[in-house]
Amino acid sequence: MIKLFGWGARLGAVLNENKGGPWGTGGSGGGSGPRTPWGQTPRRPRAGGPGNITSLDEFLQRSRDRFGGHFPQQNGRPYWLYGLGVALVLWLLFTSIHRIGPQENGVVTRFGSYVTTLQPGISFTLPSPIDRVQKVDVQEIRTVDIGASGAGGENRLLTGDQNIIDLAYSVRWKIKEPERYLFQINKPDETIHDVAESAMRAVVAGVTLDEAIGAGRSEIEQRVQLVMQGLLDEYRAGVEIQGIAIKQSDPPAAVTEAFKDVSAAQQEAQSYLNQARAYALQITANAQGEAASFDKVYEQYRLAPEVTRRRMYYETMERVLSKVDKTVVEGGSGVTPYLALPELQRRPPAAGAAQ
């Protein structure tokens, strides 16, 4: 504070026009500066002497000389005071009034320490550098790609049945609490990447290969999202996981051909099993139908045994005789029937008779 008042006194002395001093003001017919009582202009002391003038003094002296020995004034005050006031007002306006966008939050720090979070709209803070506002977009959905599709290399994971798969997936997330996102963890983007890899390996280690490359992928995505959110909440990262998307789930490239052969064999075996099951169902259905038909015939037989027996005999003979050649011989009184057996033997046998 003492230094500040000392500089103020020195600045006032330099800007003073020396009116009413012991040497008077500069005359119009002589030199440009004040004179001593003996009519000589005092010499400026050399650098290093007891009366050494600082660089600030020299700058102000040269500025005064440009304006004829004094600064321009209005109403008895120099113009630079007005400029200083305008600069102060502009500084207050630009560093104290903040417009926060509809998708943003403003994190306010005072001398580097967190104070509050500004919501969308117009807000006021202390001027800089006392308060500083850092705007953070809290609605933007950010994406982290992990694996072959995003990183350009294989991302091998071990399944629960001791198989290896090459997995590529992406993580969608956004900032939920900007103050924690900025100050709670170091390098939050790298932290999210590491947490995603850890969660995915933990979940895949509990499933089989068929589940990891087949219908179980959606369940894996949901479980990884829950595990990640739990870990990040423990870290107080201020991040919300929006979802996990598995883009690629294949065996390693070195065993791709062998894996395709195994998959083809499994599909063929499954096809044979399906055919066998369909045939078994057909035979079972036919047997059940015949059993139901027999039950109905038996009910009729119990009501009229002789009639049912004769009807069954006729139906059986009709089925048998319909498939063979037949010769009907009608006998009469006094007529001897003639059966041409050689002629019958020369005839081509029918399909039913051959069988």
User: Is the backbone of residue 76 left (phi > 0), alpha (psi -120 to 50) or beta?
Assistant: left
- Residue 353 lies inside a defined structural domain of this protein: no
The count of domains in the chain is 3
- Residue 110 lies inside a defined structural domain of this protein: yes
Q: Which residues pair with 305 in a beta bridge?
A: none
Do 268 and 296 fall within a single domain?
yes
pLDDT of residue 269: 93
Rounded-to-integer distance, Cα 11 and Cα 187, Å: 49
- Residue 11 lies inside a defined structural domain of this protein: no
Of the candidates 158, 123, 144, 302, the residue with the CA atom closest to the CA atom of residue 225: 144
Of the candidates 250, 223, 241, 230, the residue with the CA atom closest to the CA atom of residue 147: 250
- Residue 84 lies inside a defined structural domain of this protein: yes
In terms of C-beta density within 10 A (0-12 exposed, 13-18 middle, 19 or more buried), how is residue 203 classed? buried
- Taking only the tens place, the pLDDT of each residue in 189-237 is 899 999 999 999 999 999 988 888 888 889 999 999 999 999 999 999 9
What is the reported pTM? 0.51
Residues of the chain with pLDDT under 50: 1-32, 36-40, 45-52, 149-152, 351-355
Whether cis (ω within 30° of 0) applies to the bond prior to 72 is: no
The residue out of 251, 266, 300 marking a domain boundary is: 251
Q: What's the domain range around 82?
A: 54-134
pLDDT of residue 73: 54
Rounded-to-integer distance, Cα 242 and Cα 223, Å: 13
pLDDT of residue 339: 62
Do 291 and 238 fall within a single domain?
no
pLDDT of residue 27: 42
Do 185 and 120 fall within a single domain?
no
Do 272 and 241 fall within a single domain?
no
Do 150 and 124 fall within a single domain?
no
Do 236 and 270 fall within a single domain?
no
pLDDT of residue 280: 95
- Residue 333 lies inside a defined structural domain of this protein: no
The residue out of 134, 165, 191 marking a domain boundary is: 134
The residue out of 208, 223, 251 marking a domain boundary is: 251
- Residue 272 lies inside a defined structural domain of this protein: yes
CA atoms within 13 A of residue 225's CA, in its CB half-sphere: 17
pLDDT of residue 153: 56
pLDDT of residue 202: 93
pLDDT of residue 124: 84
Output the CA angle 266-271-275, nearest 5 degrees: 150
Do 99 and 166 fall within a single domain?
no
